[in-house]
Structure 1
Amino acid sequence: MAEYDLSPLALDATSIDLAGRDAEGRFVVVQCKDYREFTAGDLRKAVETFTSGRRPFNADHLIVATSAPTERTQLADELATLQREHEDLELDLWGAEQINDLLRYQADVVARFWTRETAEVFCTGARPFRVSPLLLPTARSRRTASSSGLSRRVR
């Protein structure tokens, strides 16, 4: 098994802020961007920084998370372009909207990092009405679909 340097300095050199494993045991890495506005150029730079060198943990799933809104069409278009350019990498973009939706069900996390009172008000458990995010097929899902005979429906 390969060993990885998990020190803050080593992770900073790779532009990765968080690393973990998904339910299947694959490494997922997260780049966090505390930006007031997040542009298509910012997204491209984040992905190119990650893909330009040796991938930490040999991760094949990158999440770019930002405190800025990400519902603009230009970001969805750039994410789709980047996914085509990096078919071996699963890419996700989480903006303020997606992060808030996830945190609404995590009162313990909200209370820990903000206050218990904030959690009581913010964590309503009610799902806000939203249009589902654009889900792009990844190289992995295309391989799975192709091997299972579903490729005509997926592509």
Structure 2
Amino acid sequence: MDPMGGVVPRGISVGGGDDAALGSGGVDQARELELSPLTVTAPLLLRTHELSWEALEHLVAALAVQADHALEARPFGRGGQAQNGVDVVAFFASQPAAVYQAKRYEKFAASDLRRAVLAYAGGSRPFDARRLVIVTTADVRDTKVDLELTRLREQHRDLVIDLWGRQQLSDMLFALPDLVRRFFRRGHDAGVLPSAAWRGGAGREQRCDGRAGAGGLPGPPRFVFERGFA
């Protein structure tokens, strides 16, 4: 009871504390927030293993331009030609060419890494590249793979050797939603596109199912899924 003999509602402070300042509506809202989860974790990885080998090569060429800032990148040669450890070559304005290998694997072991590196480093080294990037659709989180990568870098100090697996590809592509839409048409299954990419002005947000959002703006294609990183 309050000093005047009335009954004080639960959660309301007589002394004008936080609950009183919030009012009954604010208290209810605060309690609801305490009970509700703050966020739902979105998928962290793209389904890179579903890419065809040709799509993977074109994705690597696109990443060479958009992520590595090459002036030009393209697949090297055609089927049946000797490629000497090069699937994609990229050219830059002020540095030597870089070469990329695209490996559509489900599993990637330390021995696969060694073979891939030696295919270029132990051969004729087309384009006289100073950087070799091994790209695979597989998960490369493996202590043996990491140790082998360290050994290969020590053995070939004249060559910068990078390894991109499923995690690295996903991390790069999360910042490049246009490439996700281009190469992962089933993006609604992956759930990786940021909703911010489809926001209109003044807080208007378009829907991910192709219908117009608030303000009558057209929505994005149906394969775009709004539940993604924010």
Structures share fold, TM-score greater than 0.5: yes
Alpha-carbon separation, structure 2, partners of 1:51 and 1:74: 20
Aligned: 1:92 with 2:92 = no
Q: Are residues 120 and 68 of structure 1, via their aligned partners in 2, closer, same or farther at CA, if it must alter by over 3 Å?
A: closer
In the alignment of these two chains, the number of paired residues is 122
Question: Structure 2 vs 1, CA of residues 24 and 71 (structure 1 numbering), >3 Å: closer, same or farther?
Answer: farther
Say yes or no: does 1:42 pair with 2:112. yes
8 A contact 1:46–1:64 mirrored in 2: yes
Please report the TM-score for the alignment, with normalisation by the length of structure 1: 0.69
Q: Offset at 1:51?
A: 1.4
**What secondary structure sits across from 1:14 in the alignment?**
coil
Q: Runs of at least 4 residues of structure 1 off by over 6 A?
A: none
Q: Determine which structure has the larger helix proportion and give its number.
A: 1
Give 1:12 shift.
4.5
User: CA shift at 1:83, angstroms?
Assistant: 0.5
Q: Is the 8 A contact 2:88 2:101 kept in 1?
A: yes
> Residue 146 of structure 2 corresponds to which residue in structure 1?
76
- Asked if the contact 1:32–1:65 (Cα under 8 Å) also holds between the matched residues in 2, the reply is yes
Aligned 8 A contact 1:27 1:57 in 2: yes
Q: In structure 2, what residue type is equivalent to 1:121?
A: G
Residue by residue over 1:110-155, the C-alpha shift from the partner in whole angstroms, topping out at 9 and shown as x without a partner, is 111222854993123748xxxxxxxxxxxxxxxxxxxxxxxxxxxx
Name 2:51's counterpart in structure 1.
none
Question: Could you tell me which of 27, 40, 43 is aligned with 2:97?
Answer: 27
The share of aligned pairs that are identical, in percent, is 34
| RMSD value, Cα | 2.4
Structure 1 residues 114, 52: CA separation in 2 closer, same or farther (over 3 Å shift)?
same
Structure 1 unaligned residues grouped into runs of 5+:
1-5, 128-155
Q: In 2 relative to 1, CA 121–39 (structure 1 residues): closer, same or farther, beyond 3 Å?
A: same
Letter of the 2:135 partner, please give it. Answer: A
Q: What TM-score comes out, normalization by structure 2 length?
A: 0.48
Larger radius of gyration: 2
- Structure 1 residue 86: deviation in Å? 0.5
Question: What amino acid is aligned across from residue 153 of structure 2 in structure 1?
Answer: Q
Deviates more, 1:37-46 or 1:24-33: 24-33
